[in-house]
Structures are given as structure tokens and as C-alpha cells.
Amino acid sequence: MSYAKQSESYGAEVLHVEPHGIEPIPESDRHGRPHSIFTLWFSANLEFATLTTGVLGVGVFGLSFWQASISLIIGTVVGALAIGFLTTFGYRWGIPQLIQSRASFGYAGNFLPGVLNFLSGIGWYAVNTVLGVYALEWLLPIGFIPNLIVMIAVQAVISIYGHNLIHWVERASAVVLMVIFIVVSIYAFPHIRFNIPENPRAQAFSGTSGSIIVAISIALSYMMGWMTYSSDYSRYFPRDTAGYRAFHAAFWGNVIPAVWLELLGTGLSTFTSIAKPTDLVTSILPHPFGIVTMLAIILGTITANVINIYSGSISLLTIDIGLVRAIAPKRWIAALLVGVIGGLLSLIGGQSGYYNNYSNFLFVLAYWISPWLAVVVCDFLIIRRKRQDLDDFYTHARPVRAGLWAFLIGFACSIPFFNQTMYVGYFAKHWPQIGDLSYYVSFIVAFILYAAFAKREHVYSDAHRAS
């Protein structure tokens, strides 16, 4: 069966609107090398949202500098391992990440992860855009809404052009962002209070163990935001790409910038106000370099958000129902839709309470990604790595599969362990020292259930094919 639509040649063209959507990438358009994955994630993580993730450990959860730093490193490394692993799936089949979960969730069952990832892309877009607008306002005091319109327009254009232009922008931005944040780090280092103690009066302090567990989860949540996009940027690679090269490119492309900026944010939060995110850097920099840094924050917003818009639009296309096909018949239209909706969300939620809104968003994001990841990884380990059949990703047979039930049950079992300001579950309320264990509970439960369900379903499927 052929899944690729007839389209004009794309290849490695940059200033050419990407013609492909959610179908497999044909061999004629396969190109690229793993080092482009490194620069893509490196640039995408050199953004202000990464830095403000580091602020939360000390500024919101009340940890010491060293406790917060170790927690952030652990969460980031664990998350980056998963991104590296998922990246190797992309060129194996040449299809986007969310299409791959159809094999375990079913064609219709996968609509739920598709909707959630679409909303996550919009949410991340809004979070990052707010930070970019803060920086643009510092440079161009014409008001929040006019600056928001400027940010939306620039990000939308790049995302509409698609895969190749996104990779090009990330490569071009990597060195610029690296140099600027090195200078910020040099200015910040002498001010950092490495011996700052725990702060039991902090807004979300849950005791030492509880706050450490929550800080680990926050860093892991930040990485989880990229997991559902992983294959989207490796699916054009040649099929014979070395797995270890792709894995390491994605792993280190996330770990190096994320740990760096998270630790920088942790350090900044030990001596300066965290009331408004841009105050973190403007308070320590000479005015001329403050201007350069604001430009870097704007550029970092763009490098992160073009990924959120692009993958959010891909997720929308996986929801294969009449309404979605009518409003977004092509990828670039879906990208434009994500940009507009995310811009409106930025306007509604971007002018107050940034840190509370951000930490809550990170938790809510990861609550669904953890059981989704468990199902996808388990499916690959017990079934998919031995099969290369694209039918499993595009067939309408068995529209709902075992992965959906494992996902829902895993998520439900994790609810009593939720621990954030919008909702505190039973276990987290009575034992705050356990922090937020929901990710780990949902992952373990979903993984075990899917392993049990899928083996039975796979035996049935093979027997049905044979008949």
C-alpha cells in the first residue's frame, strides 16, 4: 500500500514550503545528518523558558542552590535519554512522532494524544511568546499587543515554510545564542550565592525531599515537552542513519543547553528579583549588553516556538475527522492556526502570575505525556522493533487499541499523586514529603498494562491476518 501523496520535489530546499504532512517521507526527499539534530535542540533550548525553569527550584520550591542544581540535572538527563531514543524512530519509518503512536492507540484512539499534543504545542507557544514579548517590550515600548503581533508574524512565517527552514534557522542561531549566554553567565557568576540555604517560607516549599522530587519533576517536565516532537525532525534522514549518532546528537543537544541555562537560572534566583522574568538578566548587565541580551531572548523564543508550531500542526493533522480536514486541509494552514490560537492564549494569560502559570503548565503537560511515553516505548520494545510494516500506522482496522486503555488507566492511577497549586491529590496532600510522584506512577502502570494487553492483542491480530 502507498501512503505518500504525490507532491513536488522538496529535498533540501530551504525557501520552499514543505509539501509533506503526515505521510511517510519518500526516499527521494530523504536528506540530512544527525549533527543538524544537535543544533536544532541546542538552539531550541537556549531560550528564556529554560532559564526560568531553573528559577523555580530556589525561587518557588525553596531549595538551596546545590539541591536545586542536582535536581535539575537529574530530571534533564532522564528526559533527554527518552528524546534521544525516540529520535531514532523517525528515520526508521519516515513518519512523525504522533503518527507512530497510532500503532498502539489505534487510528481513532490516537485522536486523544493528537488533541493533547496539539494543545501542548499551543501552550508552549504561549509560554515562550510571553517571554519574547517581555523582551521586545523592553526594547520597543509600544505596548503588549503590538509586540505580540510582531512575534506571532515572525514565528508563523518560519513554521509555514516548514522542516528545512526550521533546521536552517536553528543552525544559524546556535552560535549567536551560545556566545550571548556565555557572556550573561560570566556576568552572573560573581553574584551567585552558592551557600544560600533552604527557604521554608517559599511559596511551594514541601520539605526537603518533597521540593527535591518536585524540582526533578519540573526539569523532567521541560524535557517531556520535546518528547512528542522527537521524530518530527529526524524523519527526513536517510534510512541507514547510524542510530548511535542520532541518539547522541539529540541527547547532548538537549542536555548541554538545558542544564547550562537551568543552572544559570538557579544562580540568578539566589540574588535577584524574580518578579518579572526579564529582570533576571537586566539587573546585572550593562545597558548596551542588556539590549543584545533582549535580542537573544527574542531569538531564543523564535527558535523554540517554530518547533512548537510545526509539531503542533502535525498533531492537528493526526486528528483525522471531517471538521479538522475542513479547517486545516494542509500542514501550513494547520501551522498558521496554531500560531493564531497560541497568540490569543498569550494575550489572555501572559500579563501576570508568570511563574505560577508556568510551573502549573509544566506539570499538566507531563501528566499525559508520561503514560503516552510508556505505551510508545513498550510497543517498540515488544512489537515494533521487529516489524517495519507501515500498515500499522495507517490502517483503520481496530480503530481503538490496547494503548489507549493502558494510557487512561495509568493516568487515572496517577491522579492521587498530583501536587501543584491547581490540584493536590490525596497522597500528595497527606504526605507532602513525597513531592509529585504522578509521572512515575503513570509510566509504570501504563507500561505494565500495555505489555500485558498488547501481547494478547498482537496474538489475536496475527491470527486474524493468517485467516
pLDDT at residue number 467: 46
Give 200-205 contacts, CB < 8 A, sequence gap 24+.
200/62, 201/62, 202/59, 202/60, 202/61, 202/62, 203/60, 203/62, 203/356, 204/60, 204/61, 204/62, 204/359, 204/421, 205/61, 205/62
Q: How far apart are CA 214 and CA 363, in angstroms?
A: 9
Q: What is the pLDDT of residue 419?
A: 81
Q: Which residues of 65-78 are buried (b: 16+ CB within 10 A; e: fewer)?
A: bebbbbbbbebbbe
Half-sphere exposure at residue 88, Cβ-oriented, CA atoms within 13 angstroms: 17
Backbone angles phi, psi at 423, to 5 degrees: -160, 135
pLDDT for residue 279: 67
pLDDT tens series, the chain, 467 aa? 445 554 567 888 888 999 998 999 999 999 999 999 999 999 999 988 898 889 888 988 889 999 999 999 999 999 999 999 999 999 999 999 999 999 999 999 999 999 999 988 888 888 788 878 888 888 888 888 888 888 888 888 999 999 999 999 999 999 999 999 999 899 989 999 999 998 888 777 788 898 999 899 889 989 998 999 999 999 999 999 999 999 999 999 999 999 999 999 999 888 876 666 666 777 777 878 888 888 888 998 899 999 999 999 999 999 988 888 888 888 888 888 888 888 887 777 655 556 566 666 666 777 899 999 999 999 999 888 777 678 889 988 889 999 999 999 999 999 999 887 778 888 888 888 888 899 899 999 999 999 998 877 664 455 445 44
Sign of CA dihedral 187, 191, 192, 194: positive
CA distance linking residue 123 with residue 416, whole number of Å: 24
C-alpha cell read off for 239: 534510512
Cα 169 to Cα 159: distance, rounded to the nearest angstrom: 11
Cell of residue 128, nine digits: 515562550
pLDDT at 177: 93
**Per-residue DSSP letter, 423:** E
Residue with cell 526539569: 219
Please name the residue that has the C-alpha cell 518536585.
214
Distances (CA, A) of 55 to 114, 264, 277, 378: 31, 8, 9, 34
Residue 103 CA to residue 443 CA, distance in Å, equals 18
Domains and CATH numbers, the chain: 34-366 (1.10.4160.10)
Spatial separation of the C-alpha atoms in residues 350 and 358, rounded to whole Å: 10
